[in-house]
Each structure stands twice: as C-alpha cells, then as structure tokens.
Amino acid sequence: MYNKGMTKMGEQKNQKGFTIVEVMLVLALTGLLFIGLIGGFSGSLARQRYKDSTNDVVSQLRSYYSLVSDTQVQPRSNSSACYGLSLDASGAIGGIDASRYNVNRGRSNCVVYGIAASINGGTIEVTQILGKDIHYVDNSVTTGASDIQLLKELQGNNLVAVTTAGGPASSCSITLAGEHTKYTMKWGSALKKDGTHDDLTATVLIFRSPRNGGIRTYVWEDVVRDAQGDPVDYSALAGQNLSCTSGASQFRDQGINKYLDNFQEKELRMCVEAGDGMLYDGHRRLVRILQYGHSSSAIELVDADQTIIKDKC
C-alpha cells in the first residue's frame, strides 16, 4: 500500500543543509569580523585616551599662569616671614631670627612671586616661590637687573627656614615656602625630549616681575637634584624637615634659588608620548612653551597634521 506522505522503497528524500566546509567558512569569516571589530574598538579607545592625556597636560600647563595671576598666600603652620631670617642695617640677610616665627606674611616683607613647575617625564611638581619685597633691597642692587636677577637678589626660593616657637635661633627646620601639588599624566603618557624617547626633565619658572608685576616665563632644562643626583622629591621634603643650623646658605642651596642663573627666556619643546610606547597615528603631539610667555597662550599644542610633528617628535 502506498501513502503519498511516504517515500517509495529505495527512493531517497532530497534534503537541504550546510556542508562542513560551508560551516567552517562562515565561522572563519565571523571570527575575522569579530577580531576586526575588537581591533577597531581598541584602536579607537587608545586614540581617545592619547587625545585626553594630551589635552589634559596642556590644560594643566595653562592653568599655572592663572595660578600665578591669582596667587594667594597659603601659610603653613608655624611658617615664618619669608625665611625667618633677620636683616642687618643695610637690609642684607643676617642670622636666623627666632623671634619672627609664625609671623603673618601680610604684615611682613614677604612676597609670593609665582611658581616653579618641575617636569620629570610623566609628572609635574609645582612649588610656590617666595621672596623679599623689592622695597627692602637697596636700589643699587636692582638697577639694571633683569627679572630673573631681581628674583635671585630678593632671595626668591621655594624653601623657607622655619623657627621653633620660643626656641633658640639654631632651633629651626627647612620646609616648602607654600603650597605644593603633584600632577601625574593620564594613561601612562609622558613628556619626552624633542626628537627623542628620553624623559623630559625641565623646570619652568612662571612669576610676576618684582619691578612691574608683569608675568614672566623662564626655562631651565633640568630640575633641582639631591646629593645623589636624583630629582628632589618635594613630597618627601615637605614631610621631613632638614636642619638649618648653619644659617641661610644651607637651605638656599637646596632650593630653586641656587639655580636661578641657569634659567633663560627661551622656547621649551616637548613631545607627548602615549603609554607603553604606543604612538598615536604614527606620531606624537608636540607641545611648545613659547619664549617670552606672559599668559596661558604661551602653551601651544601643535596641530597633528603639521610637518613639524613628523620631523621633530
């Protein structure tokens, strides 16, 4: 008996499906597509992170000019006026005056002039610079002096001597002159020397001219170093005061004042390199601190499509 729904004896039903080769081909194409999507996403994420880190460090550098323009004294506990040092009849620095501990800086001859930004690869440490008011220095010293020479003559420094309340003149310590901040670049990026992959070490002085109040920018392509030749760790310095029993010279030698002759009004060029050596679109972005900078416009991020990028960074 024959049923239409049944096949005849010996007759095979024609069935449709995928062969093993076809299945493997589809899986291979799907895998390649997936890998491509993941690779594209990773590349896009890396580019965005690089862009964020570059814009962030440029914004940070520009903010230092606003900080100098709107400087407010942030006194530390038991801070002394300027250095806590006495002045002789001629206005010269004498010994440490224990009676001047914790003097209100607004009633002293102390002035906040600006900041020192120490760049060391992926970190930037900022310390305030204090010094004597120009009116406390003899005119013969200031006449014809440049702004950086004036800062040196006025004992501009990022360290101060602090005397112990009620203690003898020799009972003192060294600490930071004002506020201290440390900035770390995002995503492991770092600032490199122009044309190399070596970490940039440089100090940028941004301060108000003691003579007329105009903002000045000076550059030194190095940083303050300790006795071992390593960059000074200001965080450790702030937490561990040093002895200053030898008077004014010892703490000045450890701060920025000792190195002011090394600073010049010149352009500083640096390359922003992404973390893990990864380059963004085959090159790095160039950042310039322009010569004679007096505002945040001195910080320039060079456009990525300019030829100078490929030639230098």
Q: Is residue 42 part of a domain?
A: no
User: Does a structural domain hold residue 309?
Assistant: no
Q: Which domain holds residue 227?
A: 73-188+195-265
Residue 14 lies in a domain: no
Total domains, the chain:
1
Domain assignment present for residue 49? The answer is no
Distance CA 269, CA 208 (A): 23
Is 79 within a domain? yes
What are the Cα distances from residue 77, in Å, to 56, 102, 151, 165? 33, 7, 25, 11
Q: Are strands 268-273 and 285-289 parallel, antiparallel or unpaired?
A: antiparallel
What pTM value is reported for the model?
0.76
The pLDDT of residue 274 = 87
Q: What DSSP state is assigned to residue 242?
A: B
Predicted confidence at residue 248, as pLDDT, reads: 52
Which of 154, 126, 252 is closest to 210 using CA atoms? Answer: 154
Q: Is residue 83 part of a domain?
A: yes
Which stretches of the chain drop beneath a pLDDT of 70? 1-18, 22-23, 26, 28, 31-43, 71-109, 136, 161-173, 238-253, 277-283, 304-312
On whether residue 87 sits in a domain, the answer given is yes
| Structural domain includes residue 54 | no
Helices within 147-242 (DSSP H only): 147-153, 234-239
